[in-house]
Amino acid sequence: MSWYKPSDVGFAARSKLADLGHGARLFFKLIAMMVPTFRRFGLVRDQIHFLGNYSLAIIAVSGLFVGFVFGLQGYYTLQRYGSSSALGLLVTLTLVRELGPVVTALLFAGRAGTSLTAEIGLMKAGEQISVMEMMAVDPVQRILAPRFWAGVITMPLLAAVFSATGIIGGWVVGVLMIGVDGGSFWSQIQAGVDVWKDVGNGILKSIVFGFTVTFIALLQGFDAQPTPEGVASATTRTVVVASLSVLGLDFILTAMMFTI
Partner 1 sequence: MVLTPPSALVELRNLTFGYGDRVILDDISLSVPRGKVTALMGASGGGKTTILRLIGGQNRAQSGQLLFDGGDVTVMGQTELYAARRRMGMLFQFGALFADLSVFENVAFPLREHTDLPDALIRDIVLMKLNAVGLRGARDLMPSDVSGGMARRIALARAIALDPELVMYDEPFSGLDPISLGTAARLIRELNDAMGLTSIFVSHELEQTFSIADHVIILANGKIAAQGTPEEVRTSTDPLVYQYVHALSDGPVRFHYPGPTVQEDFSMGLQSNHKSSGVAQ
- Would you tell me which residues interact with partner 1 (CB under 8 A)? 122-123, 126-128, 130-131, 133-138, 142
Nearer to partner 1, 35 or 195 (CB): 35
CA 115 vs. chain centroid, Å, equals 14
* Degrees, nearest 5: CA angle 218-222-152: 15
Minimum distance of partner 1 from residue 25's CB (angstroms): 14
Of 46 and 194, which CB lies nearer to partner 1 in the complex structure? 46
Q: How far is the CB of 202 from partner 1 (least distance, A)?
A: 34
CB of 42 or CB of 82, closer to partner 1:
42
| Least gap, CB of 154 to partner 1 (angstroms) | 18
Minimum CB separation of residue 13 from partner 1 in Å reads: 21
Nearer to partner 1, 47 or 238 (CB): 47
What sign for the dihedral angle of Cα 220, 221, 227, 233? Answer: positive
Give the list of residues 6+ apart from residue 260 with CB closer than 8 angstroms, or none: none
Kindly state the smallest distance separating residue 122's Cβ from partner 1, in Å.
8
C-alpha span between 129 and 124 (Å, rounded): 5
Q: How many residues does the chain have?
A: 260
Distance of alpha carbon 110 from alpha carbon 155, whole angstroms: 13
- CA separation for the pair 235, 188 (Å, rounded): 43
CB-nearer residue toward partner 1: 136 or 195: 136
Q: First and final CA of the chain: distance in angstroms?
A: 52
Q: HSE on the CB side for 252, CA within 13 Å?
A: 8
- Considering the complex, what minimum distance in angstroms separates the CB of residue 165 from partner 1? 31
Taking the least distance from each CB to partner 1, the nearer of 122 and 253 is 122
